[in-house]
Structure 1
Amino acid sequence: MLDVRRLQLLRDLARLGTIAAVAQAHAYTPSAVSQQLAALQREAGVPLLEHTGRSVSLTPAGRALVEHAETVLAALEAASATLAAARTGLSGTVRIGAFPSAVPTLLPAALVALGRDHPTLDLMVTELDPVDMPDALRDRRLDVALWHDYDTAPVEPDPGVDSVRLLDETVFLAVPADTWGDATGDPIDAARDAAWIVGTPGTLCHTVALRVCQTAGFTPRVRHHADDFTAVLALVAAGQGVALVPELGATHPPADVRLLPLDVHRRTRITYRRGAGAHPAVAACVAALEASTRAYRD
């Protein structure tokens, strides 16, 4: 019988790439991780890992076992959800992750409704960039997350995560109103010589800004890096450049900022660990977020 905890370590090695990273994720020593993976290999009876110098990679059998591990871990999540549904009432901690522009817009009404309808739930919110959310869900640092990608920079589905669609937003090019004049044609093409305000390198917003400009045939001249859309719009209003801003980030733009709609959309989903969708606390969060989003858009 294969040990589930060791299967999880193998799955995380496939995801994280190094023994050291797996050890850090689980608060183990690298030696302990190596010993557990060696024990799993003995249980499997076939080589799962290949060592080349100091690096390690998965064999074809190891990669195949990782796919089965995802199914096994999802089944355990579903089993936990079934047991939770058999209990009376909802209680315990629910860790909710959200990207910054969702926190003041979509999340408050959902938190109020959850607190009213399920007062024994302990709700904890963490603000995260979407690129960090799948790992946080897998590592059980989050139970539910508001996650997004863009149609111009789609993200491959994570095999350990399930989701439901929540919201599609138009993305705008924010420009200084007093210097832009009457924009005609493609706004992005018109901004090829402008200074740009983009997200911190490594964030999804940074990737999308570069991708949109590269699709238009140029590399943006980046003047500022900012991740908070209120700060971004303030910099645009001060004539410091132009920026991409989605609807939720542009709810109260300064008077001297123009928002030019683009054929670019940000797509938000509610995500949770694969198999956990039937957990009563997860289902309650999904319902509350869907209701708060409908109310916000209306």
Structure 2
Amino acid sequence: METRRLELLVALARLGSMREVADEMGVTTSTVSQQIAALARETGTVLLEPVGRRVRLTPAGRRLADHALTILAAVDAARSDLDPAAEPEGTVRVAGFATAIRRSLLPLLASLESTRVRMLIAEHEPAEALDLLAEDAVDLALVYDYALSPRTFDDRFEVTPLWKARWGLGVPAESAVGGLPAAAGVDRYRDDGWIVNSRNDADERVVAALAALAGFTPRIAHRADSLDLVQDLIAAGLGVGLLPEGMPMRSGVRLLPLREPVVLLRAFAVVGRGRAAWAPLAMVAGRLVR
């Protein structure tokens, strides 16, 4: 249905006269009559009935006029939403890994309270988040890779780097007796079990790369998604695993810095190609980068 015809129908319901509609809308009475007739053909419904020398809306015409108010309001809202000069308004759906949610998203929430933009946040590993983005189930994905094992993004996505963080090797405290060296090699742990992520293979690939440089193949002993659980497994003597520098270490765990090579996690904001101009998403993405 042509929205212009719906506007004429709404005006007719309000004014009750085609002449008054024509005067208000700046068209001829004939144009009003023709457009309402075309709308009746589009809907397959009789919209007008004669009353003496005038016409009035049929019950179906009045129902359509009621619907038209909602339809026209939605069209106006869509135009406003797409207007780059308008105040951003809408809900941005975000899928991201836990560290990025804590570090990047949560600090933004307070700054959004004074705006008309809201966020819906879901915790997902990178592959899951990118799948949701490809399916248009989310608007923004926060993902990561490691410099030792870079992720390849296909041309469906637009990618913006956010921040980087160094990771070290978490080991049982008793194995690090004598103090922490300036840089720890992984070769001393060639006979230990290794703990890797259960939902993402990025850190397993990094562990394999580190071990290959040291001349051995790591034995994957356990898989855990939670970094807190990784620490618990390490403290129990069940293996060693990668942990971020700056994370508080629980009793029984020591973090050895890795410098040759450095293990660097890189965080990215990813949106669907062509979607970055949507005002609410542009606001959130811009604040994330800043």
When normalised by structure 2's length, the TM-score is: 0.64
Distance (whole Å) between structure 2 residues aligned to residue 81 and residue 242 of structure 1: 55
Query: Bigger shift: 154-163 or 99-108?
Result: 99-108
Higher-Rg member (1/2):
2
Paired letter, 2:108:
A
Task: Answer yes or no: is 1:143 the counterpart of 2:139.
Answer: yes
RMSD: 2.5
Matched residues in 2 for 1:122 and 1:172: separation? Answer: 36
1:163 alignment counterpart: 159
Q: 1:266 to 1:82 in 2, by over 3 A?
A: farther
**Equivalent of residue 88 in structure 2, options 84, 87, 90:** 90
Separation (CA, whole Å) in 1 of partners of 2:219 and 2:140 = 37
Q: Is the 8 A contact 2:81 2:89 kept in 1?
A: no
The percentage of counterpart residues that share the same residue type is 31
- Which whole-Å deviations, capped at 9, do the CAs of 1:247-281 have from their partners, x for residues lacking one? 4xx52221432111221101111111122222221
TM-score (norm 1): 0.63
Change (3 A) 1:139 1:82: farther
Aligned AA (1:242): V
What's the CA shift for 1:148? Answer: 0.9
Structure 2 residue corresponding to 1:109, chosen from 107, 110, 132: 107
Native 8 Å contact 2:84 2:279 kept in 1: no
State the Cα distance separating 1:82 from its structure 2 match: 10
Q: Which residue of 2 aligns with 1:241?
A: 239
Is 1:287 paired with 2:281?
no
Runs ≥4 residues deviating over 4 A: 80-83, 183-186
Offset of residue 95 of structure 1: 0.6
User: Aligned runs of 1:60-75 on 2, under 5 Å?
Assistant: none
Compared CA separation, residues 256 and 106, structure 1 to 2 (3 A): farther
Alignment of 1:180-191 (within 5 A): 180-182=176-178, 184=181, 186-191=184-189
Change beyond 3 A, Cα 1:253–1:106: farther
Aligned residues: 208
Greater RCO (Cα-Cα under 8 Å, separation 6 or more): 1
Q: What is the aligned counterpart of 1:128 among 124, 128, 135?
A: 124
Residue by residue over 1:62-87, the C-alpha shift from the partner in whole angstroms, topping out at 9 and shown as x without a partner, is xxxxxxxxxxxxxxxxxx99962436
- How far residue 128 of structure 1 moved from its aligned partner, in angstroms, is 1.1
How far apart in 2 are the matches of 1:239 and 1:101? Answer: 25
Q: What 5-or-longer segments of structure 1 have no aligned partner?
A: 1-79, 292-298
Where does the alignment leave 5 or more consecutive residues of structure 2 unmatched? 1-77
Check if 1:223 corresponds to 2:207.
Answer: no
